[in-house]
A and B are shown apart, each in its own frame.
Chain A
Amino acid sequence: MDQKFRYIPSGDSAFIIKAGDDISPGTSQLVRKLLIRIENEQIPGIIDYIPSYNELMVCYNPLVTGFSELSARLRSLETGLDNLELPESSVIHVPVLYGGDAGPDLAEVAQIHHLSLQEVIDIHSSPEYLVYMLGFMPGFCYLGGMDDAIATPRKATPRVNIPAGSVGIAGSQTGIYPIDSPGGWQLIGKTPVRLFDPDREPVFLFRPGDRLRFIPVNEEKFHTISIEVAQGKFDRNKYKIS
């Protein structure tokens, strides 16, 4: 039997299944395959899942099932996991207005790396980023793929309030604030798109495994999209900027 997964209790109502010890697209795929495989079984007593970079947390009701019972059952699902096809991941375009009031730290980031503003924008908006996982805040994506050429330390003094939609850099990570929050990220731009909206279906713009592209837009386009978003016309599957 394949023993690459390790099952470890995490309290009396959850356990983790470790798929590896690294942050890599391969380990991430294993975690997602495992989640799809388990979820398809609709096992009674499982309440929730938290997939992360290298493990899957399974939350269960211990009055219905137990660790030994569940881990034995899930182990039997591991065979053939390598052959399981993951559904094609969505590529979601996130329009960003870079610099100015929308991205007050763009100039600082450019200066630190001796780049022009446009070079920072080009470097930030060229990769296709992988959404490894969500956490920290509702709808917040942990993205992989940023070019180290624009990796920038956090601000020495965090801001008291960063508005939702702000796009920032912290170390070698880039991310989007889904809700207003305090924080120390270097803010380089802002998107009118909502990553978390309880009144919308889907509530969350991204799912683990999705891919993301930042699309630079001008102020006019930013406002047009803001209006579409406010009117509920934004569709994550159809929305593409040519």
Chain B
Amino acid sequence: MVSICIQSPGRMTTVQDSGRPGYQRYGMSVSGVMDAHSYRLANLLVGNHPGAACLEATLTGPEILFNFPCTIAITGADMDPRKNGQPVGLWESIDISGGDRLSFAGLKSGCRTYIAISGGIDVPEVMGSRSTCLPARTGGMEGRVLKQGDELPLGKGKAFSDHLRFLFEEDRLQVLTNPTLRIIPGPEVRRFGFEGIRNLLTSAYTVSQHSNRMGLRLSGPAIPVVNGTADIISAGISPGTIQVSGDGQPIVLMADRQTTGGYPRIAHVASVDLPLVAQVKPGDTLRFREISLETAQSLLREQEERFEYLAGRG
């Protein structure tokens, strides 16, 4: 069997793909990668289909032993990747021979690293996806984070043999420790008064330790509810929703978010900026700037055109 062997899992490494939509009405989280930008480009660099499963490593990287030749790409957070101990680059194709060992010397920037391997990680699909949903213990590798000794099967061959081999600076995700995120007002924005909204749009909010793939808890100047109650009738949550909990502190909801929630939805992070949220870690800070729905969608279209151009560049 063509597979990779996990020699050491790193702090929290999971198998992820583009997610498992379609079951949210049953309370099933979408899951999938936190940083769709880095994930998509990693797959491009190894000639995979855009939805192929890869590894998502958090804060520290895994050590992986390869038993056959393949192509890999590493994107997202810089964890100082090494092939057989020698530094290798991010955002480029790396040729691997049987017996090669990939490791990471330590986090230099960002929070989550993506490792794409030609053929893709071929764990069984569960409900149409290979992504790991940790809260439901479903999908990926037995519904859990990787552990030492795991053998992960790989898909056969590359989808595209004549693929992109490197990316210019401008196409890489620029990971930041203090990004300003573009947001769109949410359905319950009117529950918050002038002061609270001013706080949200002018202050820095610190990412708390209690942040994970479900969401990032932030702390900073309070955003009080002034009209109505601090709870809403439980309702749907879209990716990047910013909820404000009873203590006036915002929470940004991410890949493993619950499908419904009872806190007011003050705003939503624009899809193009969600990868920046995926790359901040506890102690980093976030700021927010308002844009319109139309602007958010046109930014997404521009990015998509660029990705499609890159996919065709080969």
* Residues of A in contact with B (beta carbons under 8 Å apart): 8-14, 16, 21-23, 35, 47-57, 59, 62-63, 66-67, 133-140, 142, 178-179, 196, 198, 203-204, 206-208
Chain B's nearest CB lies how many Å from the CB of A48? 5
Besides A13-B239, A52-B236, A138-B26, 13 other A-B contacts (C-beta < 8 A): A9-B293, A10-B238, A11-B184, A11-B268, A50-B259, A62-B300, A135-B234, A135-B260, A136-B234, A136-B259, A137-B27, A179-B135, A204-B28
A-B interface pairs (CB < 8 A), number: 144
Q: Tell me which residues across on chain B come within 8 A of A207, comparing CB atoms.
A: 25-26
Is the pair A55, B186 in contact by a Cβ cutoff of 8 Å?
Answer: no
Q: Which of B28, B133, B239, B304 has the most CB of A within 10 A?
A: B28
Nearest CB to that of B300 among chain A residues? A62
Interface size on B, residues (CB 8 A): 45
Contacts of A47 in B (CB 8 A): 21-22
Q: How far is the CB of A99 from chain B (nearest CB, A)?
A: 28
Q: Is the CB of A138 within 8 A of B297?
A: no
CB within 8 A of A137: which of B135, B186, B296, B300? B135
Q: Is the CB of B235 within 8 A of A57?
A: yes
How far, in angstroms, from A55 to B235 measured CA to CA in the complex? Answer: 7
Contacts of A16 in B (CB 8 A): 187, 235-236
What are 18 A-B contacts defined by CB distance under 8 Å?
Answer: A10-B268, A11-B271, A48-B22, A52-B233, A52-B234, A55-B236, A59-B24, A62-B300, A62-B301, A135-B234, A136-B234, A138-B133, A140-B27, A179-B137, A196-B28, A204-B27, A204-B28, A208-B25
What CA separation (Å) do A210 and B268 show in the bound complex?
32
Given contacts A54-B233, A133-B260, A135-B258, contact A12 B23 (CB under 8 A): no
Q: Is B226 an interface residue (CB 8 A)?
A: no
Residues in chain B within 8 A of chain A (CB atoms)? 21-30, 126-127, 133, 135-139, 184, 186-187, 233-241, 258-261, 265, 268-271, 293, 296-297, 300-301, 304
